[in-house]
């Protein structure tokens, strides 16, 4: 087989890149380790930046999102009963869209299938070969047979544990990491959201987040010990802990019910430099991870896709090599700004082990400054809705 671009990973970033390329007339094949049903069963974030929303609309993928998604003009930051509403519309004249990643991925799959673009599921033992040559190859096993695809370029959209980043020699890459000493215990429940905007809560009892997927499906999180077992958190214990961490007006009105999914997510910050080597380009979690505070994971992957799709389109259309050569620098410039914002939000809203009284006072001072400063609120709003590409 031969194609222009092999995309390793059939999650949202790989599918989004594939759609950009297909729309531009650039042949591409997507390889996915799991089944389509498995990918669509993963529960992930649902807050889309303005840039991500614009990409979807520009690609002709916004119809269902615009009907079923929820436009959020702001968010709530709280400390105990103190509440600050960050007004996105006022500070940025834009908003974010709450639309589940599962739904977005389903839209991408449907469009790829309608276009007849190729995706190969249930591949294993993927290897990237000859990256320094003019025509690299991707080898994989499918149905017990060893297969090869020759191509011009390889896009690694296969996540933190994928093979793509490992194809860059250790001597040629630097990795930066911060692992946070806690996790998020999250549940999904078929209940009405407690508020029509997200609530990020810091309290004497710890961090909590109130989010949603749609009008009758809520997603809630509380900070927990990363060593905890979700089975040790029966639903009632979770709801009691959540009530203690959010402002009283919300705690008194929250609708509770049985969880339909419960899991603990670790928090880490991670960046790999560079994001390209030879004819390989990394996108999304293959190159960087952010803690979920601030809803940047999917959105930072979408910004990588934007830069890479732009570079590949300019290469094939205009023979513009400069765009390809500058991909890593362009992507990393925005990645590090996104990392800063996610780190700041995480540091502001969580309790850290052995946190001193001084450090707690610094958090309180930051909250007070945010409450009193229009400029500080504007900076938060600008980062939350998404920095420009």
| Catalytic site residue from 288, 296, 307, 327 | 296
- Catalytic choice (153, 292, 306, 316): 292
How far, in Å, CA of 387 to CA of 296, rounded?
A: 11
| CA torsion angle 249 100 47 121 (round to 10) | 150
Q: How far apart are CA 226 and CA 210, in angstroms?
A: 20
Question: Would you tell me how many other CB atoms lie within 10 Å of the CB of residue 386?
Answer: 25
Catalytic-residue membership of 307:
no
Q: How far apart are CA 215 and CA 66, in angstroms?
A: 15
Q: In what order do the strands lie in the sheet with 288-289?
A: 82-87, 74-79, 199-202, 208-214, 217-224, 174-189, 259-273, 288-289
Helix, strand, or coil (residue 300): helix
**Active-site hit among 72, 91, 288, 350:** 72
Specify whether 262 is catalytic.
no
* DSSP states of 118-180: EEE-S-EEEEEE-TTSSS-EEEEEETTEEEEEE-SEEEE-S-TTSSTGGGS-GGG-EEEEEEE
Residue 292 designated active-site: yes
Residue 256: both structure tokens together: 């509770």
Nearest to 313 by CA among 112, 11, 113, 18: 18
Closest CA to 69 of 220, 217, 239: 217
Place of tokens 């194609």: 3
Is residue 161 among the annotated active site residues? no
274 catalytic per annotation: no
Report the C-alpha gap between 92 and 345 in whole angstroms.
19
Catalytic-labelled residue, pool 99, 153, 180, 200: 200
Q: Which active-site residues does the annotation give?
A: 72, 200, 292, 296, 384
């Amino acid at each position: 087989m031969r194609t222009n671009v092999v995309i390793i990973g059939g999650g949202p970033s790989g599918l989004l890149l594939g759609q950009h390329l297909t729309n531009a007339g650039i042949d591409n094949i997507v390889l996915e380790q799991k089944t389509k049903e498995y990918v669509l069963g993963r529960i992930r974030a649902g807050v889309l930046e303005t840039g991500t929303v614009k990409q979807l609309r520009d690609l002709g993928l916004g119809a269902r999102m615009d009907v079923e998604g929820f436009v959020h003009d702001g968010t709530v930051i709280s400390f105990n009963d103190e509440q600050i509403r960050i007004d996105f519309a006022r500070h940025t004249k834009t908003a974010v869209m709450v639309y589940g990643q599962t739904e977005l991925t389903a839209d991408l799959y449907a469009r790829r299938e309608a276009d007849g673009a190729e995706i190969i599921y249930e591949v294993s033992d993927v290897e990237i070969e000859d990256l320094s040559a003019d025509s690299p190859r991707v080898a994989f096993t499918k149905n017990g047979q060893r297969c090869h695809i020759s191509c011009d370029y390889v896009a690694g959209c296969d996540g933190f544990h994928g093979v793509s980043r490992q194809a860059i020699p250790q001597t040629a890459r630097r990795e930066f990491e911060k692992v946070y000493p806690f996790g998020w215990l999250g549940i999904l429940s078929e209940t009405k959201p407690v508020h029509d905007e997200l609530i990020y809560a810091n309290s004497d009892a710890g961090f909590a987040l109130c989010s949603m997927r749609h009008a009758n499906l809520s997603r809630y999180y509380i900070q927990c010990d990363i060593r905890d077992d979700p089975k040790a958190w029966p639903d009632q214990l979770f709801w009691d802990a959540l009530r203690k961490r959010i402002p009283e007006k919300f705690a008194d009105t929250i609708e509770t019910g049985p969880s339909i999914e419960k899991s603990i997510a670790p928090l880490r910050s991670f960046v790999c430099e560079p994001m390209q080597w030879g004819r390989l380009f990394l996108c999304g979690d293959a190159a960087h991870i952010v803690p979920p505070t601030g809803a940047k994971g999917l959105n930072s992957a979408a910004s990588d896709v934007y830069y890479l799709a732009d570079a590949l389109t300019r290469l094939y259309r205009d023979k513009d090599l400069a765009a390809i050569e500058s991909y890593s620098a362009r992507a990393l410039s925005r990645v590090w700004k996104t990392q800063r914002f996610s780190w700041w939000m995480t540091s502001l809203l969580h309790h850290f082990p052995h946190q001193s009284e001084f450090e707690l006072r610094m958090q309180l001072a930051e909250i007070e400054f945010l409450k009193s400063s229009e400029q500080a609120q504007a900076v938060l709003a600008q980062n939350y809705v998404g920095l420009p590409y």
